[in-house]
Amino acid sequence: MMPEYRASVMPYHIAAPGYLSYTVLGLCGHRNIFCMLQYQPSQHTLTKRNGLAQSFHATKRLALAATFATLIAGCTDVPAAFGPTPSQARANADGLFGAFVKRFTNVSRAPRYARAREMMLHYALTPSEVYSDTSIWTVYGPDNYRTLFGNATFTNGRYVFSNTVTDEPVQSLGEGRHIMRLHKLNNDDYDWFTGVDFAAGTITANDFANVITRWVAASEGHNEATLRAGYRAAFPRTTAALGRLYSLDTLVSTPDADGANKLYAVIHITPDGIRQDYPAYAAFMTKYADKVKLHFTLVDSRGAKWLEVTSRDGYVTLRLKSRDGHFAPFEGPIRPIPDTLLMQVDFTAKIKLFTVGVEHMTGEWVNLHSEHERGWALRFTREPGWVLPPVVGYLIKSPLRRPFEGNGTQFRFAVRDQPGHQTIMSRRGSTTVRESAILRFIGKLGGAAMGDFVSKAEDDENRFNVAIYSAMAADINSAIRP
């Protein structure tokens, strides 16, 4: 099982990034297909931020915004789902999107924190390089443990990351607790553990689930013209903000004889629309989004498909089937979605002259639902097929199998409400890295893309995110009437 801890989690991009499988897992973890679950407040799972992760980062953004743009269609009922009463719905939406706005406003990092982040970005796949660096870690534990604690708060108009160590839970809207823990198992093997707790206001786990249900139901029973008119009328600010980067090229909603509805949507990334105001982010998306190929499906134990997302040449395609806001299998009789599903992933990206990725990657997807918690737990225990340059093929031995051995690579994202306290968005991740020549190669290969984002595009993307979340908050607030 993945370890737990108090008032947790690690700093923004301090993770074990770059490993091919981890990059793919990022789609299925904190940024899965629901835009509402982007969980951008921390952006630091085990998938970030090395080169291949940077390429896939562009597609994740596109896929999520595309899903949002699709599910927003005709959804005049969605705003009310944020709470049991109009006043509570407005307060919950204001809190949730307000927290996201804070997270991306004028982000800064204390010098020590910034250096730790930089070092872990470069050496996440070769952790021996940072294990003994006393300038990085805040706690040296027994039995070869190293821990980096971080605290993120919104102060004087800035979102500030620091190395503060505290046992206190997050209390203020947008506040974050971060942890990164490295455990040396032997001279070659290292366990990484990451996590984050983020204060997201007063929305409950049940409200969160209701929003997703209403969002999925929004496309049911409407033709394309009605859907497009609906989302433009209900969410004019959000449509304008997203439309600068994402073009909803195709939107087809088809009813079935069994009362279900099939949705097919195609979204195209259009960086020219943001180039004037966000030039570095536009350049990043132009450089990497078109070079990613992805095929992601969720299937059950019977082989029935429940969701399909593909990406190629900057176009993301979404296919799903639903009835009354609940997912339905693509074929066969309508039935509830199982708690446990199988993820199937194929993913490649071109970095410089090399194409790298995975084929036939499978993992377990578990839907989490209890009175005060909603979320997903993912686990990968089977090594995929690898797409790597022939020149490095001879380097592939046990190092690439290591993350899938034992407990495998795990991710967990959840929304947990606490009556009388801030609702917490939490994420946990764990994996094991075995240092090797192949991982050093991948790490070096990713350096250029990582630099493109951190040094230039990140600030632009933060400002773009502020514009989107501010628009969402304003649209939902306007739509909710007392």
User: H or E element: which one contains 268?
Assistant: strand 261-269
Phi, psi of 290 (to 5 degrees): -75, -15
CB 73 within 8 A of CB 230: yes
Closest by CA position to 387, among listed 358, 361, 352, 360: 358
User: H or E element: which one contains 439?
Assistant: helix 437-445
pLDDT value of residue 79 = 82
DSSP-based three-state secondary structure for 426: strand
> How far is residue 105's CA from residue 174's CA, in Å, rounded to a whole number?
11
Q: Using alpha carbons only, what angle is made at residue 329 by residues 326 and 333, rounded to the nearest 5 degrees?
A: 100
Amino acid at 294: L
> How far is residue 165's CA from residue 148's CA, in Å, rounded to a whole number?
9
pLDDT value of residue 61 = 54
For the chain, the structural domain boundaries read 20-479
pLDDT value of residue 118 = 81
pLDDT value of residue 160 = 97
pLDDT value of residue 370 = 93
Torsion of CA 407, 298, 469, 268, to 10 degrees: 130
CB 461 within 8 A of CB 467: no
pLDDT value of residue 35 = 29
Closest by CA position to 12, among listed 167, 137, 159: 159
pLDDT value of residue 357 = 84
Eight-class DSSP state of 9 = B
| C-alpha torsion sign, points 451, 455, 459, 464 | negative
Closest by CA position to 131, among listed 120, 142, 118: 120
Listed as ranges, residues in the chain with pLDDT below 70 are 1-76, 391-399, 441-455, 482
* pTM for this model (two decimals): 0.85
